A and B are shown apart, each in its own frame.
Chain A
Amino acid sequence: MAFIPTAYIASAQPEQRRRGDLWNNRNQPIVTRLPEGELRLSQSLGEQLLGLLPRLGRFARGLTGSTEDANDLVQAACQRALEREHQWMPGTRLDSWMFRIVRTLWIDELRGRKVRQGRGVVDAEEEIVVDGPRMIESRLTLDAVRRAVATLPDAQREVLLLVCVEGLSYRETAETLGLPMGTVMSRLARARLAIARLTEDNKDRADEPSNVVRWS
């Protein structure tokens, strides 16, 4: 349980934005009031999605744990966004809307399909084991982190990715996922401590003397 009321969370306060401006997915104005009172705009949804693709791909990669699934997911999410363009309120953040679509599609549709096909399921205990000498390469450490992320429950993983990787505030994460802020915090804390524990376990193994040296 969170003992701090939401009121103490800085991002719970609505952002102060200039009235009359509309905002894009990076929190920059897409429609700006010029000094003479005229407005200047703007990008179409297609253009904005193009700019957002790298981040959508990264979020999908984190959710699915596989590049192939991530590609399917991003493709499906963009198609859905174009079909439902009228549901997007310009002036609200496109990234949050897209993350929500990606996540909903993954949970509701694609993930089930992958599981039924016998793919996309990671066995936590087996996958997380990384033998010692490999840990000296940080690239492989990060591999271990990605596997640790994959072992988290979906509910924790999506919060972790949105906050730590995509840089959303707690408030934005809560809105994107439709969760209370306290739930965002507790899932995030549990996920972060789990990642620390899992990678710590690996480090302990790495510190153990080992005469097996594998450079792969």
Chain B
Amino acid sequence: MPEPDENSLVAYVDGELDAAMAREVERWLETSPAARNTVAKLRASAALVRAAFADAVHEPPPAGLVELLQTAAKRPRPARRYALPLAASIALAIGLGVGALAGVLGTRELAAPRTEAAAEMDRLLDNVAEYHRVYAREQRHMVEVSAAETPHLEDWLGRRMKGQLTIPDLTSQGLVFQGGRLLAFDGKPMAELIYKPADGLPVGLCIAFAVPGMKGAGTVQFGDLTVFHWVDNGYVYSVVGWANDRQIHAIADSVRAQLHL
């Protein structure tokens, strides 16, 4: 190994070298006073700089910023755009859900006023989009239980969601069922079923427990992700994917025609 340069010495001082390289550098340090001197400087300067800015964490944040963030913490996504739902997609004809809702929800949620339900819906859809963004990009672990185990999946997720789950067949929409995953929202279970087009990005169907006051249907855009949701019989259903409104609504219609939770 050639004499270590400043770059490898700084990496050595910061503990960024792997063990073998660090030993090489240490061997050099034994023989080179110049390298030892450089190491001492690199070490001392790091300590000085750290100390010089240590107190800066205690400076009060700018006035107003804390308030702004606290408000944002309550309403996580103020910048979102809402689109009106298509008339066709509001027709909620299918009998869905046999949820023993009161047993699942705490009294706090039952007492929640209407406006809180709307905020809660915001947060729920937010989570649906974020989960989808994370998991849909996983190649090998996109789902927890694969489509090959559909009967088990229906049984397991059905029990978690307190209902009888039949996985909708969306081949008419060009989507092949991949499998499902159990997620959580506000400490309650939420199921996501994932489908894939022949080429393109996965589409998810999420089923979550609704809180009293949640109602209606709508489309929300999260950056490039579209989420269409509807509430029925104690459940919130949402279809999420990198597709346009029309495609997402068509998928939702197909789901509603089949789902008998």
Q: CB distance B79 to A196 under 8 Å?
A: no
Q: Give the contacts of B167-187 with A (CB-CB under 8 A).
A: 182-185, 187
Q: CB distance B183 to A170 under 8 Å?
A: no
Q: Give the contacts of B10-46 with A (CB-CB under 8 A).
A: 10-11, 14-18, 20-21, 38, 41-42, 44-46
Q: CB distance A54 to B58 under 8 Å?
A: yes
Contacts of B184 in A (CB 8 A): 31, 38-41
Q: CB distance B56 to A45 under 8 Å?
A: no
Q: CB distance B49 to A10 under 8 Å?
A: no
Q: Using A39-B183, A46-B70, A61-B59 as known contacts, say yes or no to A8 and B18 having CB atoms under 8 A apart.
A: yes
Q: Give the contacts of A38-82 with B (CB-CB under 8 A).
A: 38-47, 49-50, 53-55, 57-58, 61-62, 67, 70-72, 74-75, 78-79, 82
Interface residues on B, range: 35 or more
With the chains together, A43 CA to B82 CA distance in Å? 23
Q: CB distance A189 to B73 under 8 Å?
A: no
Closest residue on chain A to residue B63 by CB atoms: A71
Contacts of A53 in B (CB 8 A): 61, 65-66, 69
8 Å CB contact of B7 from A89, A141, A189: A189
Q: Give the contacts of B47-92 with A (CB-CB under 8 A).
A: 48-53, 56-59, 61-62, 64-66, 68-74, 76-79
Within the complex, the shortest CB–CB distance from A92 to chain B, in Å, comes to 9
> Is B166 in the interface zone, CB < 8 Å from A?
no
Q: Give the contacts of A123-176 with B (CB-CB under 8 A).
A: 141-143, 145-146, 149, 160-161, 163-165, 169-170
Q: CB distance A142 to B46 under 8 Å?
A: no
Within the complex, the shortest CB–CB distance from B69 to chain A, in Å, comes to 5
* Count: A-B pairs, CB below 8 Å: 190
8 Å CB contact of A82 from B14, B45, B79: B79
Q: CB distance B73 to A50 under 8 Å?
A: yes
> Is B223 in the interface zone, CB < 8 Å from A?
yes
Contacts of A29 in B (CB 8 A): none
Contacts of A121 in B (CB 8 A): none
8 Å CB contact of A3 from B2, B38, B77: B2
> Is B260 in the interface zone, CB < 8 Å from A?
no
Q: CB distance B16 to A193 under 8 Å?
A: no
Q: CB distance A10 to B16 under 8 Å?
A: yes
> Is B149 in the interface zone, CB < 8 Å from A?
no
Which stretch, A102-110, A180-188, A207-215, touches the partner chain B? A180-188
Interchain residue pairs with CB less than 8 A apart (27): A8-B18, A8-B21, A39-B184, A44-B73, A45-B76, A46-B69, A46-B71, A46-B73, A46-B74, A49-B69, A50-B73, A54-B57, A55-B57, A57-B59, A57-B61, A58-B59, A62-B56, A70-B59, A86-B77, A145-B49, A160-B49, A161-B49, A189-B42, A193-B42, A195-B48, A196-B42, A200-B41
- B residues with a Cβ closer than 8 A to A are 2, 4-11, 14-18, 20-21, 38, 41-42, 44-46, 48-53, 56-59, 61-62, 64-66, 68-74, 76-79, 123, 127, 129-130, 133-134, 141, 144, 182-185, 187, 189, 222-223, 225
- A residues with a Cβ closer than 8 A to B are 1-4, 8-11, 19, 22, 31, 37-47, 49-50, 53-55, 57-58, 61-62, 67, 70-72, 74-75, 78-79, 82-83, 85-87, 89-91, 141-143, 145-146, 149, 160-161, 163-165, 169-170, 182, 185-186, 188-190, 192-193, 195-197, 199-200
